[in-house]
Structure formats: C-alpha cells, structure tokens
Structure 1
Amino acid sequence: MTALTRELRTLWRGPLNVPATKLPPRTLITETVLLLLLSLGSSAIYSILSIIKMLQSTTALNQQTSSLNNSQASQSWLDLTYQLVGVGLGVVPALLAIHLLGREVRRPASFLGIDHTRPVHDIAWGLCTFVGVGVPGLLLYVAARDLGFNTTVVAADLGSHWWAAPVLLLSAAQNAILEEVVMVGYLYTRWSQAGWKLPVVIVVSAVVRGSYHLYQGFGGFVGNIAMGLILGTVYLRTRRVLPLIITHATLDAVAFVGYALLHDHLGWLQ
C-alpha cells in the first residue's frame, strides 16, 4: 500500500470534526433537503428530466447541444442586468447555508475556511487541484461526446458585448461559491452532525453533484462525480472550502472565456 493510498483511507475514515448541535438528525436532514430543493437539488431534478427528454429524441445525443450563459435580452443594457441579477441571486443559497451553520458556529465562514488567513496555501491548493481536475475533465468531455454519451456544450453565448468576459468571470465565481459552499462545506457538516459515515457523505454529495450536470449527458455526470470525490478529499485534507472555490472558479472561467474566444477557431469545440 502506497503512502498516498494510506492517506486517502485515513482521510475518508474520518471522523470529520463538526460543531455540536442540539438539532435532531431528522431536522438536520430535512434542512439539507429543503435547501437543496431551493438550489442545486431542483437543478438535479430538471437535469434528470432534461436527459430523459434528450434520450427520447431521434437526434443522437452528441448532435444535441447544452447551452450555458445564454443571452436573455436583445438590448445590451437589459441583457447585462439579467446576467448580473442572475449572478447575485445565484449565491443566495450559499449565503443561506452559511447563515444556518451560524446557529452553532460563531463565525461560520471562517469555520468553513472561507477567509483570508491562508492565501498562499489556498491559492496553491486551488491551482494544483485545477490542473489535476481540468485536463482529465477536458479529455473526458471530448471522449464522451465523440462516443455519443455527451451533448456538445456551448459554454458561452453572450455575443460580443464589452461586458461579456467580466460577466462570464462573475458567473464562474458564482457557480464555484454556490456549489462548493453547499455541496461540500454545508452538506459535509450537516450530514456528519446527523451521524452519517464520512464515506457516505462524500459519495452522496458527489452523486448529487453529478446529477445536476446530467443535462450535459453521461460524460458530464461521471466527470462531475469524479470531481466531487476529488474536491471532497481536498476538503478533508485542508479543512477549507476556499481552495475548492478557487479550483472550481478557475475551471469555469477557463471553460467559459476560453469557449467564447476560441469556439470559432477550434473545430472540436463545435
């Protein structure tokens, strides 16, 4: 057994140190279900319906498209307003999760490792994890699409407005904050408080993460489950959500802005 394997087994065995709570397990689980249904859980339900609909089509899955960051209005100022409102409202479930944890923790954001106390550490972990996840993820997407298991993902369709790139960066940050705060920081804490074994917490969180990406196809589903397992392991190692946010935001920023700049020049993106 290698040293890495031993460390991974140790991390997954836990236990995860979480604050004491007077809330019974049933209340904790109900809270997590309701928060998910207000955010990423509802996305998972619609995503499952989307993949069912796509599979009913006579068009092959890899000939269908999944669009992200779409234009919402023909007028530039109104479209920009739509985009900014969407970004702002998109982080609310993450803020709610932090607020709910504040019932047991005086400084819940710091408890989750979302602060400026370890900037070099957080950036290093975030960028190293980005490299480890990003390249295999891109290869998986291309392979899954070419094999017919994934749609063609249109990562950005905002046109040539001056504000397109800044909005895409904000969208990347919003996705990262929402997903990593809720799917890792909040759920790992709440489900551990409810008495779930750590491997169950990690796997269920990763499967939920994969399910709300099913609209992209089965490659997106599998790839995001793998991403969830990796980011969850990094969280167990660092006990900080900020490195995960940096990883995720960088991944999405490269995907969104890179697509906007290169999709007319690289055939495999189309």
Structure 2
Amino acid sequence: MTVPATPLDRRRLLHETWLVLGVSLGASAIWSALSILKRLADNRPLNQQASQLNVSRAAQSWLDLAYQLTDIALALVPVLLALHLLHREIDSPARFLGLDRRRPSSDLRWGLGLTAVIGVPGLALYLIARSAGLNTQVVAADLGQHWWSLPVLVLSAWQNAVLEEVIMIGYLFTRWTQAGWRLPQVLVVSALIRGSYHLYQGFGGFVGNVVMGLIMGAVYLRTRRVMPLVIAHALLDTIAFVGYALLRDHVSWL
C-alpha cells in the first residue's frame, strides 16, 4: 500500500490517530467494554438482555426528529476531522481514499458482493450466539410510528457506514502505514477495534465485527477505495434497521 510522505514523525502520527479515535469510535469502544462488564455482572444471561439502537429521544415527534438528525450530523464530524488532518499532505483526501464517484459501477458491484458475503453469515452468527447465550437481543430500531422513522433509519445506516469505513479503514490504514506499521498489523488492529465497539451487543457482535473488519480491510487493500465498503456497510445496516422496524411484530425470532 503506497501512502504519501508526511512531515510528521511516527510518534506524532500515532498520537494523532489515538486522538481521532478518542473523539469517535475509540470512545465508543471504551463505553462498549464497560457495557459488556455491566451486562456480565447482571444476573440474567446475555440472551435475556437487549441492546437498543435508534431509539426515540423525545415524546414530541418534531423534537425527536431534531434529536435524530442532530445525532447523525454530529457523528460525522470526526470524519471531517480525519479528512482535514489528511489534507495537510494530500490535496484531495476523499479522492485519495476512494470516497468519490469515479467508479460507480465497480464500487456498486463490490458493495453488493460484500453485502452478500457478510450479511447472511452475519445473521447466522447472531442467531447462533444469541441461542448460546453469548449475545444480547439486538433491537435495531425503536423510533415509533412517525412519517420520518424509515428515512431516519436509512440516514443512520449511511452515517454509520461513512463514519466507520472512513475512520477505521481509510484514515487509520493511511496513518498507521505512514507510521511504519506492517499491513497485517494495521489490518488486525483495526478489525479488533471495530469488534470492541460492538461489544455492547455481546461476544457474537464482537466476533462478527472483527471478521467484518478483516474482510473490509482486505477489500480496501485490493481496491484502494473506501466507497465500496461504505455502500456495503450502509446496505447491511439499512436492511437491519428498516427490516427490523417492518418485521418485528411479524417475525418471532427478531
């Protein structure tokens, strides 16, 4: 993997990455680790506990919508920060990371392929881990019945995708390579961090997302484009969020 030269030394590069993680997904990993410890201290098995995503934040519909949109917007600030930091050495960081529309057909093919490769085994792993008492019940959507609920779930899916793939793959792979890390080390550490901020779901969520991180990272190293990863991640989360909202009252195992 070829990266541009940087005036920053190894120590400053690593400090920068830990700070970016500290205001984004690294902070989520810490809270997630505390969450799983709290769950394990509970007398109930993990599969009798629930992890709620996309929950209502206010009784008034308009205020709840304002909360949801603000959450989505603020969660993308670390992405802008990462691109801003890369801009010191790279004229167009988004283009360098492959977060653009230069190859729409190729990006879509890769994205759809990744969705199939990760989606079905991921669902199977979730069900197996939950039946084994190693995972919580994931309540993927609980926004109530509003005209804006489904569009907000789609926006939330895309926000997750952009945040995770730009930070965990594009930005970290670039910075850690510049810092002299070998690619296998970059790939594994990034995947482990990805798994750790999903620990709140249980150990199945951790393992599944580590595997997802390894696959996403390997595809990035081959394509040198983040966009296919964003497409796949967004599709996976959209199916999970919207599918849960539409089917939760009709499918018992959800």
Q: Kindly state the Cα deviation for residue 243 of structure 1 after the two structures are TM-superposed.
A: 0.3
Displacement of 1:20: 0.5
User: Matched residues in 2 for 1:175 and 1:95: separation?
Assistant: 14
Secondary structure, counterpart of 2:128 in structure 1: helix
Paired position in structure 1 for 2:224: 239
* Residue deviations 1:89-144 (CA, integer Å, cap 9, x gap): 11110111111111110011000001111000001100111000000000000000
Residue 136 of structure 1 is matched in structure 2 by 121
State, as a whole percentage, how many aligned pairs show the same letter.
Answer: 65
| Counterpart-to-counterpart distance in 1, 2:22 and 2:99 | 24
Q: 2:142 maps to which residue?
A: 157
In 2, distance between residues paired with 1:96 and 1:120? 29
TM-score (norm: length of structure 2): 1.00
Alignment of 1:112-123 (within 5 A): 112-123=97-108
Instruction: Tell me the residue number matched to 1:65.
Output: 50
Aligned counterpart in structure 1 of residue 194 of structure 2, from 209, 231, 242? 209
1:135-185 per-residue CA deviation (whole Å, 9 max, x = no partner) reads 000000000000000000000000010100000000000000000000000
What are the superposed Cα offsets for residues 219-261 of structure 1, whole Å, 9 maximum, x if unpaired? 0000000000000011011100000000000000000000000
Map of 1:81 onto structure 2: 66
- What RMSD, in angstroms, separates the aligned Cα atoms of the two structures? 0.4
Distance in structure 1 (CA, Å) of the matches to 2:244 and 2:18: 34
Give the distance between the partners of 2:18 and 2:200, measured in 1 at CA: 21
2:186 & 2:20 partners in 1: Cα distance?
16
How far apart, CA to CA, are the structure 1 residues paired with 2:91 and 2:25? 26
Which residue is 2:156 aligned to? 171
The structural deviation recorded for 1:49 is 0.2
Q: Given the alignment of the two structures, is residue 53 of structure 1 paired with residue 53 of structure 2, yes or no? A: no
Residue 60 of structure 1, CA deviation: 0.8
Could you tell me how far 1:31 is from its partner in structure 2?
A: 0.2
Task: Give the one of 22, 40, 44 matched to 2:29.
Answer: 44
The answer as to 2:20 corresponding to 1:35 is yes
Residue type of the partner of 2:236? L
Given the two structures, how large is their TM-score scaled by the length of structure 1? Answer: 0.94
Aligned to 2:213: 228
Q: Which amino acid aligns with 1:116?
A: R
* Equivalent residue in structure 1 for 2:96, among 111, 121, 131: 111
Aligned with 2:253: secondary structure?
A: helix
Task: Look up the match of 2:177.
Answer: 192
Q: Give distance in 2, aligned partners of 1:237 and 1:192.
A: 15
| Aligned partner of residue 251 in structure 1, secondary structure | helix
In structure 2, what is the Cα distance between the partners aligned to 1:230 and 1:116? 22
User: Any stretches of 5+ residues in structure 2 without a counterpart?
Assistant: none
Q: Distance in 1 between matches of 2:113 and 2:84?
A: 30
Match of 2:87 among 93, 99, 102: 102
Question: Match of 2:138, SS?
Answer: strand
Query: Which of 94, 105, 110 lines up with 1:125 in the alignment?
Result: 110
User: Which runs of 5 or more structure 1 residues have no equivalent in the other structure?
Assistant: 1-15
In the alignment of these two chains, the number of paired residues is 254
Supply the AA of the counterpart residue of 1:52: L
Distance 2:238 2:75 in 1: 16
Runs of 4+ with >6 A deviation: none
Instruction: State the distance in 2 between where 1:58 and 1:77 align.
Output: 38
2:36 aligned with 1:19: no
Instruction: Name the aligned partner's letter for residue 142 of structure 2.
Output: D
